[in-house]
Amino acid sequence: MTAAVARHIERRARLAARMQPGSVAVLATAPEVLRNGDSDYPYRHDSYFYYLSGFTEPDSVLVLVAPTGDTPARSILFCREKNPEREIWDGYRHGPEAARIAFGFDEAFPIAELDAQMGKLLANVPALYYALGHSAALDAQVASWLKAVRAQGRSGITAPGSTHHLLGMLDEMRLLKDADEQALMARAAAISAAAHARAMRFTRPGVFEYEIEAELLHEFRRNGAQFPAYTPIVASGANACVLHYNRNDRQCREGELVLVDAGCELDGYASDITRSWPVSGRFSEAQKTLYALVLRAQEAALAAIAPGRPYSGMHEAALKVLAQGMLDLGLLERARYASLDDAIADKAHLQFYMHGTGHWLGMDVHDVGPYRDLSAADKPSRPLLPGMALTVEPGIYVRPAQGVPEEYWNIGIRIEDDVIVTDDGCRVLSGDAPKGVAEIENMMKER
261 included as an active-site residue: yes
The C-alpha atoms of residue 207 and residue 249 are separated, in whole angstroms, by 10
97 included as an active-site residue: no
Smallest separation, CB 194 to ligand GLY (Å): 18
Q: Is 319 helix (H, G, I), strand (E, B) or coil?
A: helix
209 included as an active-site residue: no
Of 393, 417, 418, 441, the active-site residue reads 393
38 included as an active-site residue: yes
Regarding 256 and contact with ligand GLY (CB under 6 A), the answer is: no
Regarding 245 and contact with ligand GLY (CB under 6 A), the answer is: no
408 included as an active-site residue: no
How crowded is residue 144: how many other Cβ atoms within 10 Å of its Cβ? 13
Decide whether 24 or 428 has the Cβ nearer to ligand GLY: 428
Regarding 364 and contact with Mn ion (CB under 5 A), the answer is: no
- Distance from the Cα of residue 230 to its chain's centroid: 9
Regarding 230 and contact with ligand GLY (CB under 6 A), the answer is: yes
Task: Give φ, ψ of 78 to 5 degrees.
Answer: -110, 130
Interface residue with ligand GLY, options 364, 393, 418, 441 (CB under 6 A):
393
Amino acid occupying residue 314: M
Q: In terms of C-beta density within 10 A (0-12 exposed, 13-18 middle, 19 or more buried), how is residue 351 classed?
A: middle
Which of 63, 3, 80, 1 shows the shortest CA–CA distance to 28? 63
Regarding 261 and contact with ligand GLY (CB under 6 A), the answer is: yes
Task: Give φ, ψ of 112 to 5 degrees.
Answer: -65, -20
Decide whether 44 or 282 has the Cβ nearer to ligand GLY: 44
Could you tell which of ligand GLY, Mn ion, none binds residue 230, using a CB distance below 5 to 8 A set by kind?
A: ligand GLY
Query: What is the footprint of Mn ion within residues 234-293 (CB under 5 A)?
Result: 261, 272, 274
DSSP string for 363-412 = SSSS--S-SB-TTSTT-PBPBP-TT-EEEE--EEEE---TTS-GGGTTEE
244 included as an active-site residue: yes
Regarding 397 and contact with ligand GLY (CB under 6 A), the answer is: no
The β-bridge partners of 265 are: 227, 270
Of 85, 244, 406, 424, the active-site residue reads 244
Smallest separation, CB 230 to ligand GLY (Å): 5
Residues interacting with Mn ion, by CB under 5 A? 261, 272, 274, 391, 416
Residues interacting with ligand GLY, by CB under 6 A? 230, 261, 272, 359, 365, 393, 416
